[in-house]
Amino acid sequence: MPCDALYLHIPFCLRKCPYCDFYSVDADPSLMDAYTEAVLCAFAQAPFDLAPLDTVYFGGGTPSALGGERLARLLDGVRSRFGIRSDAEVTVECNPCSALPDTLSHLWDAGVNRLSLGMQSVDDRQLALLGRMHTSAGVQDAIAAAYRVGFSHLSLDLMLATPGQSLSDIGRAARFCAEAGAEHLSAYLLKIEPDTPFGREGVDSCCPDEDGQADAYLYAVDVFEQLGYRQYEISNFARDGHIARHNYKYWDCREYLGIGPSAHSFIGGRRRYFPRDLRGFLGAPDKFALLREDGPGGDLEEYLMLRLRLSEGVTWEKLAGRFPGFDPAPLREKARPLQKGGLLVCDGAGLHLTPSGFLLSNSVIGELLL
């Protein structure tokens, strides 16, 4: 299948959150101007042929911090270089802030049709503790602004197992999302990376332990389901017909091109990535000369690891189609004790993890691949 997915990394944030290790720098206007030019230049240099794009995803960082005019220029550049299908999904990650309504109207006019809003919590104390710049009222204002402009496809991010978060906090946030009309939710357990302010300050000692994290996760899965959000991936939930098309391609092990510092690609059968170095990206005459090789992609092990993140898991039929000669017997054998433990379901159609299996996904998938 030809590559029809493009990821653009926008490496700017208004302020760094203390738990985050995504690649981003301060949203300095002159740097953002230079970056916009550099990405437009990268489009012209891209040594890959893509099919007209079915999905375009602006991730970060905080893409909305780039501002509506720069983002619209980038999307125009994407359209002229690669082509965008008329029914494409075009997503921009946003954070609530006072400039957002103006940005959103530029995005809507430019052809963006899906927003992913970094809500994280609806509790102002939790938001302050997480170092977020917005309040719950700011989230409401951002959602209202999005609807006013014309957006109807909205995804909200929620963080689970943060210090002091109770199950009723999760329930309240879930009901907020449903009442706000979000069609898609992403819910991630707070993971404290060592090389962040939270990591250095030992904040993990204030976070729920493994049992508490499991309770938070399984409660969230349950309450989302009750509100009509079906789990379709470890951390993602959607109302019928509203899964994230772009992200689904990652888990289905399909090819995509990523552009920008720290962006990863799977294209031409190879995994590659740009270094986490904005200055290097800006200064490089040939942006794609910066790409580092990360080995071949799409083998059986990788396919299983990615597909088993999805609730639908893998089917024997798809495995046989993608890997001619594939023998399911060893996998079925290894799955037997895990199925007895309630961690997965292995039947005549295929194999998929249960919500309890998702909680231990790394070790469950590791057992299957041994």
| Chain residues that interact with ligand SF4, rule: CB under 6 A | 13, 16-17, 20, 22, 24, 60-62, 95, 118
As measured in angstroms, the least distance from the Cβ of 22 to ligand SF4 is 4
How far is Cα 334 from Cα 58, in angstroms, rounded to an integer?
39
End-to-end C-alpha distance for the chain, whole angstroms: 29
8 Å CB contact between 190 and 169: no
How far is Cα 346 from Cα 353, in angstroms, rounded to an integer?
9
Q: Which of 125, 152, 162, 123 is nearest to 139 (CA)?
A: 123
8 Å CB contact between 85 and 53: yes
Q: Which two tokens stand for residue 370?
A: 């041994």
How far is Cα 232 from Cα 244, in angstroms, rounded to an integer?
10
8 Å CB contact between 130 and 92: no
As measured in angstroms, the least distance from the Cβ of 208 to ligand SF4 is 20
| Beta carbon nearer to ligand SF4, 61 or 350 | 61
How far is Cα 153 from Cα 246, in angstroms, rounded to an integer?
14
SS3 253: coil
As measured in angstroms, the least distance from the Cβ of 24 to ligand SF4 is 5
As measured in angstroms, the least distance from the Cβ of 69 to ligand SF4 is 21
| Beta carbon nearer to ligand SF4, 184 or 307 | 184
Neighbours of 322 (CB within 10 A): 14
Strands 270-273 and 264-267: antiparallel
8 Å CB contact between 268 and 26: no
| Beta carbon nearer to ligand SF4, 17 or 72 | 17
As measured in angstroms, the least distance from the Cβ of 133 to ligand SF4 is 8
| Beta carbon nearer to ligand SF4, 22 or 219 | 22
| Beta carbon nearer to ligand SF4, 185 or 344 | 185
Alpha helices in the chain (DSSP H): 29-45, 68-82, 100-110, 124-129, 136-149, 167-179, 197-201, 210-226, 245-251, 278-283, 300-307, 316-322, 329-340, 355-359, 361-369
| Beta carbon nearer to ligand SF4, 98 or 152 | 98
8 Å CB contact between 70 and 36: yes
As measured in angstroms, the least distance from the Cβ of 130 to ligand SF4 is 9
How far is Cα 27 from Cα 48, in angstroms, rounded to an integer?
30
| Beta carbon nearer to ligand SF4, 79 or 132 | 132
As measured in angstroms, the least distance from the Cβ of 155 to ligand SF4 is 14
As measured in angstroms, the least distance from the Cβ of 116 to ligand SF4 is 11
As measured in angstroms, the least distance from the Cβ of 12 to ligand SF4 is 8
As measured in angstroms, the least distance from the Cβ of 277 to ligand SF4 is 17
| Beta carbon nearer to ligand SF4, 84 or 161 | 161
The DSSP letter of residue 195 is T
| Beta carbon nearer to ligand SF4, 16 or 332 | 16
Element (H, E) at 353: strand 350-353
SS3 326: coil
8 Å CB contact between 251 and 307: yes
| Beta carbon nearer to ligand SF4, 24 or 162 | 24
